[in-house]
Structure 1
């Protein structure tokens, strides 16, 4: 992870994920030469989401996002993907913390219903 605004934003998002489900498991996967730090993943009865930093954003991708309710319209990326949905957060963007926490909770509940 970078050491600028993206690291701070990623830490805030990580805290929201943990607030949604204190038992969620964080692991780093998919290490490769182009991404030696790997990708933080969050799981509870299956993959919930991933957290990645890019040059201009922090991206949270929900593995089964297309199946989740999103009345607050938090999802703003990968909207036409078959299964996943994502939240891209730029440096000055405002994230609806409560709505984001509800998305994580819904993703965990979906995983548990299929476990």
Structure 2
């Protein structure tokens, strides 16, 4: 079973509001960018990635949590983050029964996470380029 099928199965098992909520979050995530990849990690967590992890989704007893792996580094002009402020890296959106999420704002946050991942990826390549700025061994 591939990760998308596992996520489908998880949502189907959540027969209350949490399944509908997780399905809606998933739809917004996938609509934000066509190159997002669905993964299944940590023995049962849906993960969405593009050039690195974007977010992890989990259904808890009283909420659905969408945790952004680099949320602390993202601008959140629509104030979607409402959990995880104690840490220096992660931020989360806790959705409780009856809550609504601005889909457009969530898609913008997803795109910001992708841009962060892509910038981080480019930065990792930069040190090699910086080293090559000096004279080569042939020029010395």
TM over 0.5, yes or no? yes
TM, length-normalised to structure 1: 0.91
Instruction: Return the offset for 1:94.
Output: 1.5
TM, length-normalised to structure 2: 0.76
Separation of aligned partners in 1, 2:29 and 2:105 = 11
Higher relative contact order, chain-length normalized (CA < 8 Å, sep 6+): 1
Structure with more helix by fraction: 2
- Aligned partner of 2:29 in structure 1 is 17
Q: 1:20-39: per-residue Cα shift (whole Å, max 9, x none)?
A: 111100011111xxxxxx00
3-state SS of 2:46 partner: strand
Instruction: Return the offset for 1:4.
Output: 1.3
Instruction: Return the offset for 1:3.
Output: 1.9
Separation of aligned partners in 2, 1:39 and 1:92 = 23
Structure 2: give runs of 5+ residues left out of the alignment: 1-9, 122-140
Regions of 4+ moved over 6 Å: none
Instruction: Return the offset for 1:51.
Output: 0.5
Separation of aligned partners in 2, 1:94 and 1:14 = 14
**RMSD, matched Cα:** 0.8
- Aligned partner of 1:34 in structure 2 is none
Structure 1: give runs of 5+ residues left out of the alignment: 32-37
Instruction: Return the offset for 1:57.
Output: 0.6
Aligned pairs for 1:33-112 within 5 A: 38-112=44-118
- Highest Rg: 1 or 2? 2
Separation of aligned partners in 1, 2:94 and 2:34 = 23
